[in-house]
Amino acid sequence: MQSNVYSLPKPNRDRVTKTLLFWTPQDWFIDWVGNKWDTSRVFDKCRVSNCVLTKQHQYKDNADIILFRARDLKKCLKKTKRGQIWVIFEHEAPTSFEILHKLDKYCYRNMFNWTLTYRRDSDFTFVHGLFSKRTTIFNDSVVDKIIKSKTKTAVAFISHCHTESRRLEYINRLRQNGIDVDIYGRCGNLKCRYGLGYVGDFKMIWKVASDLKMKKDCFDVLDSRYKFYISFENSLCDDYNTEKSHHLVLQHTIIPIIRDGSNRSLFHPPNSYLDTKDFKTVKSLADRIKQINYSSDEYKKYLQWKKYFYSETVRGVLQSNMCDICERLHNQDKYRRLYGNIVDFLFTRGHNSPICHKPGDL
């Protein structure tokens, strides 16, 4: 480790430095941290900054807190340090780690203290983007020019074809009702000419690395060709919505058509999207798409929010999450919690009501 691992930031010399160990961080999280591993620099701008972030497993027995992903729980894990805090950090829906159902649930009784997931009832909530007040002028003439250049109706980027949400079936129903939809990725016949962006490249999809300077990516077609983006999640789970309808799409001049299990009004500006839940049938949604598609005035109504807000990436979310965790570590008495069974929490909120739902008849 670097020599300044346990150096105390000047504003908080009266506090003991806490060590945060992330057991298996995602690639995009590693990119976001950059060269700040094994230092306190991730927390420099936090109200409480005496924390060090590491991913080195050799500190397991000494770390004050360990962040695990749900997929890390493939076997029974044991705490070796008294008072150590365990956290589940998971941004995926539970349908992506069904293996947990096959494990002996008693492994995880009274082991986890905090949760950091996409769900609003987590101890810390991870959302896939932020909306901030615009400080620059919204240029109507540029938007008009972009809209006039669009010649195609809808597009989707999909590489996981068989999903719980049956999203490809829904797209086919839209096509049957007269909506032209192009699909990039393994589930369609179009490929990204820049080679990256929709399969396995978190730098281009998430864009969380602060030093990332990409002039073009696969999603440039959202401005130049298409009026609507098909933002269908792979699972219909409570609160579950991803970058598909946040910063990845809304930084462009396009209207997302959303299908997920969340209450969309809690996450997006009003009149900035179409939600399949607001339409009784696929046909009624298709009719509304056609109406907007053929009217520039109707189309622009769904872009008015951009006059007041803009969409940010998850960088600010991650920073806020890390600051909150560090602060709570220094005030643990105020945040004492123990999950009786973390598997039950992940799949059913701790009772018999599942958080993910099967789609009804299309």
Residue range 32-55: mean pLDDT, rounded: 96
In total, the chain counts a number of residues equal to 362
For the chain, percent of residues with pLDDT exceeding 70: 86
Residue 234 confidence (pLDDT): 92
Residue 98 confidence (pLDDT): 67
Query: In terms of pLDDT, which residue wins out, 176 or 184?
Result: 176
Whether the pLDDT of residue 209 is over 80: the answer is no
Residue range 137-158: mean pLDDT, rounded: 91
Average model confidence (pLDDT) for the chain? 85
Q: How does residue 20 score in pLDDT terms, banded at 50, 70 and 90?
A: very high
Query: How far apart, in Å, are the Cα atoms of 237 and each of 67, 118, 143, 164, 178?
Result: 23, 10, 34, 10, 29
Residue range 336-347: mean pLDDT, rounded: 88
Whether the pLDDT of residue 16 is over 50: the answer is yes
Distance CA 158, CA 274 (A): 19
Residue 313 confidence (pLDDT): 83
Q: How does residue 9 score in pLDDT terms, banded at 50, 70 and 90?
A: very low
Query: How far apart, in Å, are the Cα atoms of 312 and each of 218, 248, 288?
Result: 18, 9, 28
Q: Which amino acid is at 263?
A: N
Distance CA 261, CA 259 (A): 7
Distance CA 104, CA 75 (A): 9
Q: How does residue 15 score in pLDDT terms, banded at 50, 70 and 90?
A: low
Q: Out of 17-31, 190-204, 253-267, which region has the weakest mean confidence (pLDDT)?
A: 190-204
Q: Out of 5-9, 85-89, 232-236, 345-349, which region has the weakest mean confidence (pLDDT)?
A: 5-9
Query: How far apart, in Å, are the Cα atoms of 289 and each of 145, 226, 247?
Result: 20, 12, 22
Whether the pLDDT of residue 165 is over 90: the answer is yes
Q: What is the pTM of this model?
A: 0.86
Strand boundaries in 30-108, DSSP class E: 51-54, 65-68, 85-90
Residue range 274-285: mean pLDDT, rounded: 96
C-alpha 305, offset from chain centre: 21
Query: In terms of pLDDT, which residue wins out, 3 or 84?
Result: 84
Residue 208 confidence (pLDDT): 57
Residue 203 confidence (pLDDT): 42
For the chain, percent of residues with pLDDT exceeding 90: 54
Residue 212 confidence (pLDDT): 45
Residue 149 confidence (pLDDT): 92
DSSP per-residue codes, 12-44: GTTSPPEEEEESS--HHHHHHHGGGTTBSGGGT
Report the run of H or E that residue 109 belongs to, with start and end: strand 109-112
Whether the pLDDT of residue 351 is over 90: the answer is no
Residue range 170-184: mean pLDDT, rounded: 97
Q: Out of 41-45, 135-139, 182-186, which region has the weakest mean confidence (pLDDT)?
A: 135-139
End-to-end CA distance of the chain: 55
Whether the pLDDT of residue 3 is over 50: the answer is no
Q: How does residue 206 score in pLDDT terms, banded at 50, 70 and 90?
A: low
Q: Which amino acid is at 272?
A: S
Residue 27 confidence (pLDDT): 87
